[in-house]
Amino acid sequence: MLKKSLLVLSFGALVLAASADGAAAKTLKLQTSQNSGDFTFKYLSEVWAPKIKTMSDGKLELQLMPTKSVVPHRETIDAVANGILDGDLNAVAYFAGRDPVFAMMGDLIAGYDNPDQVQMFCENGGGKEVLQAAYDKLLKGQVHVVGCGPYTREALVAKTPIRSVDDLKGIKIRSPEGLAAEVFKRAGASPVAIPFSEVYTSLEKGIVDAADASAYVNNAATGMHKIAHYPIYPGIHSQAVLQFIVNKDVWDKLSQGERDMLHTWYLAAYTDLRRHADMEDRIMVADDKAGKGTIKEVVDWPQAERDKFREIARTAWEDFAKKSELAQMAYDAHVKFMRAYGLLK
């Protein structure tokens, strides 16, 4: 009888343990800003998302979904706040229509020399805190910011050599509306608002002379280097910032160890992604400089010209910051960090 009772108790303990493990298992559904076939989406999904399951002994998983798979790309923050999504890995600039702070945080045009500097600003220079303050005000504290930062610096495709700030004068350049267009305008260029899907044909037909498009390797993959033979690399303008946010109720239900795990995962995954993308660009640039492609010249601006362009951009940042209290907060944080880092005087 005793033996039978012990067996029953042991079996019951196993059932309870299994139930506890099942209850502890969590899958966070995150919508990204990439299409399913994009390098970034595949790299994060295939290389990095599985690591969370391994790190947590199967108790925590990430399900990454392509852009627009659940909601339109500009509505993910509402979906996260309302619990439709557990979180997102989306571009911050998509929400610039909500408040200018998202333009300042999403892509400070011409602000930084490389993506690692932007990541440092987000993680160590107050950037993440500004983004959290924006969501606390606009979404009533329903979102937790895990991290933010870029994964690449975009190159700039051009049909004519643009070797300095002065060479921008009179150049017709495809640029998104808003802060980017204003910076190019103040440098003497003529920004033209053209959808990304029409960049290639606009360059081909001479509607524009240059274009704010994508990373060097992406520009090559879409054929732009076949018609625009003078890319600027490293780029002079854009480093689009992506965020990792989670629904606040979901975040609060995670253990401290799981929260630390997600934060550590984010930093490791995006640091690896940045460096992997950088190597892909550099390998292709080396081939092009060796005459193996269609490029006639890979243009690299001297640091003095990059600094000059930054000072022009700064006047646009200052004016943009006046548009909202949150935008001013973002501007002040950027400038404080850039001065400490030596990017601004």
The per-residue pLDDT for range 168-191, each reduced to its tens digit, is 999 999 998 889 999 999 999 999
Q: What is the mean pLDDT of residues 42-57?
A: 95
Q: Is the pLDDT of residue 92 over 90?
A: yes
> Whole-angstrom distance between the N-terminal and C-terminal Cα of the chain?
84
Phi/psi at 277 (nearest 5 deg)?
A: -65, -40
* % of residues, the chain, pLDDT over 90: 86
State whether residue 176 is helix, strand or coil.
coil
156-237+296-323: CATH superfamily: Periplasmic binding protein-like II (3.40.190.10)
Q: Residue 196 has what pLDDT?
A: 81
pTM of the model as a whole: 0.87
State whether residue 190 is helix, strand or coil.
strand
The 10 Å CB-count burial string (b at 16+, else e) for 150-184 is bbbbbbbbbbeebebbebbeebbbbbbebbbbbbb
Phi/psi at 157 (nearest 5 deg)?
A: -85, 140
Q: How confident is the model at residue 7 (pLDDT cuts 50, 70, 90)?
A: very low
Q: Residue 24 has what pLDDT?
A: 55
Domain 25-150+239-280, CATH among 3.20.20.70, 3.40.190.170, 3.90.550.10, 3.40.50.1370: 3.40.190.170
Q: Do domains 25-150+239-280 and 156-237+296-323 have the same CATH topology?
A: yes
Q: Where are the domains of the chain?
A: 25-150+239-280, 156-237+296-323
